Amino acid sequence: MTAVAVLEEVLASIENELQAVEMQIQELVDKQQELIQKKMRVKNLIKQSSGDLDAGGSKDMETSAEAWNKKDFPWYEKIKTALQGKFKLQKFRSLQLETVNAAMAGKDIFLVMPTGGGKSLCYQLPAVCSEDYKSLGILKRQFPNAPLIGLTATATNHVLKDAQKILHVQKCITFTASFNRPNLYYEVRHKPSNNEDFIEDIVKIINGRYKGLSGIVYCFSQKDSEQVTVSLQKLGIKAGTYHANMDAKYKTKVHKGWAANQIQVVVATVAFGMGIDKPDVRFVIHHSMSKSMENYYQESGRAGRDDQKADCILYYGFGDIFRISSMVVMENVGQEKLYDMVSYCQNMSKCRRVLIAHHFDEVWDSANCNRMCDNCCRESSCEKMDVTGYCRDLIKILEQAENMSEKLTPLKLIDAWSGKGVSKFRVAEVTPPKHPREELERVIAHLLLQQYLKEDFSFTAFATISYLKIGPKAHLLKNEAHVITIEGITNKKNVYKDKASQSSNSKGSRENAQNISKTVQDSVVKKAQEHKRPNCGSNLKAKKLKLQAGGDDQPVVLD
C-alpha cells in the first residue's frame, strides 16, 4: 500500500470520527433544549406554588387560593343565595368560590380550569362577562377599577402572559385547576382505511356500550360531518349534523333535539362547542384527530360533565396528518401544533393524562390515572425497535425522485417503498418491508416527527398539496453508528427468544436472529364489547408477523 493510500485511509477514519462527534453534539444539543424546557416548566410550577408567577402577582397571601377559599366575606350569603336560587346548585366546585370571592373583591383574575370544570359560573355569578379577550384591552383603560376575569380551559404560562399584555392587566391573581378529568377514559384507535368498515366500527360502539346514551362525533370538515351523519342514519342511528354554515334554525333544532334526547348523536365540527353544557354526554368520538392538542382537549372535554365515567375515543389515520397539515400550514405555528397532536396519537407507552398535562405545563403522576387510558391498560411491554435501515431506504427513494425532478406524496412514497405503484419511483436495492401498511405509515409518521423527513407544500389555485422530502436530521445517517428507534408493542409471553441470539458472539446472534418469528400486538382492529366499557387491554387483537433481522432491513414491531 502506497503512502498516499495509507493517508487517505487515515483521513477517511478521521472523517468518520468527526461525523460521529457531530452526531453526538446534535443529540446533546437536542437533550439540552429538552432539559431547558423542563427546567422552565418546573421553575414556573415552583413560582406558581409559592404564588409568585409573573402573571400572578407577588408572594403575599392575597394571591394564593387559600386566601379566597373562605365563607366570612360580607357578600358570602348573597352569592350563596344566588347559587342555590338562580343557578339551582347546592355547592361550589373546585376553585369556583375562590374566583367569585376575588371577583367580588374587585381583583383581576386569570382562571385556568378544564372544560366542564364550571368556568361559566365564575363570571356569571359576579355578573362580569368577557366575550372576546383580544379586543377587551380597552376595558382596563376605560374602567380601571372594574374587576376583570379571564377564564380558559387551555392556557400555558406563555399564553397567560400574552393575555395579560393584551388585556392591559398589570397585576392579577391566577388560579389554575388541574387539567385532569379523572372520569374520562382516553383511547386512540387506528382509523380503518375503508370508509364502510370505519362507519360500521363506530355504529357497533354506539349500539353496544352506548346504547341509548348521548354522544358527539367530531369531524374535521363540514362535508365529513354531513356524510357521516347520513351514513349513521342509514344504519339506524338517530344523528343530526351541526356546523357553522348551516341554517341557524336547523342548528337550534339539532341542539334542542339532542338536549332533549330525541337525537342520540350530534355529528359536528368544532363549531359545536361554545355554550354546550349537556352533563350526560357518555362518549365523544373523533372521526379524525383535531388540529391541535388544545382543540382536542376542549372537544373531548364535552364528555362526562356530570362527573360520571365517559369515553373519549380518537381515530388516528395516517392520511389525516397531511390533509390537516395542508390546511393549517399558513397558520401561525399551525404545523407545530398539529405535530404535537400526531405525537400524542403515535405514543403507545406514556399515560394519556401525562401527555396532556405536559402539554399544558403541568407535572402529573401517571400512577393517578387509575388505568383510565389505553396506554395504562396495556398488558404488554413497550420495546424500542431499530428502524434505521428503513429510514435509509426511504431516503434513497427520495434522493432518486429528487434526481428525476419528481415529488412524492406520502401515498407514492409508501407505494415505492412497498414495491408498488409507478415503477420509476422504486429503487432496486431497496427490499420491500414485510409489514402491514399501517405499520409502514407509523414508521413514516415517526420519521416525520423526528425530522428525518419533512413536508413540502405545493400551492395551486384549487388545493394545497403535501409532499415528503429529506428532512434536516437525515445527515446524521452518514454516520454508520447512528440508530433510530421507535416504540412498538410486543407481548413478552408470545415472543420466542433463540438462546443463541443472546450469545456474546454478535455475528452468530445476527445469523440466528434471522430465523426468529415474533408475535406482535396489532391494534388496527380494536373490538368493542357491548353494553359495558371493555376491560383494559381486552380490545387488542393479536396477529403473527415474520420479522427479518439484519442488514439494512432492521426489525420493527409496531402497533
Active site residues: 119
Separation CA 87–CA 79 (nearest Å): 11
Separation CA 54–CA 44 (nearest Å): 9
Q: Which distant-in-sequence residues (6+ apart) come within 8 Å of 424 by Cβ?
A: 404, 406
Grid cell digits, residue 94: 373546585
The closest of 533, 552, 504, 548 to 209, measured between CA atoms, is: 533
Separation CA 142–CA 138 (nearest Å): 6
Residue length of the chain: 559
The closest of 146, 164, 147 to 155, measured between CA atoms, is: 164
User: CA geometry: angle at 299 spanning 295 and 301, to 5°?
Assistant: 120
The residue type at 420: K
Grid cell digits, residue 455: 413536508
Burial class of residue 393 (count of CB atoms within 10 Å of its CB; 0-12, 13-18, 19+): buried
The closest of 87, 533, 80, 128 to 277, measured between CA atoms, is: 87
Rg (CA), the chain: 27
Contact status, residue 429 vs residue 323, Cβ threshold 8 Å: no
Give the H or E element holding residue 103. helix 96-104
Separation CA 44–CA 46 (nearest Å): 5
The closest of 247, 316, 246, 255 to 281, measured between CA atoms, is: 255
Instruction: Name the percent of the chain in helix, strand, coil, to the closest 5.
Output: 45, 15, 40
**How far does the chain reach from its first CA to its final CA, in angstroms?**
52
Q: For residues 167, 168, 173 and 179, what is the CA-based torsion angle, rounded to 10 degrees?
A: 30
Separation CA 187–CA 173 (nearest Å): 35
Give the H or E element holding residue 265. strand 265-268
Grid cell digits, residue 191: 382509523
Separation CA 374–CA 540 (nearest Å): 10
The closest of 325, 358, 549 to 448, measured between CA atoms, is: 325
Separation CA 481–CA 16 (nearest Å): 10
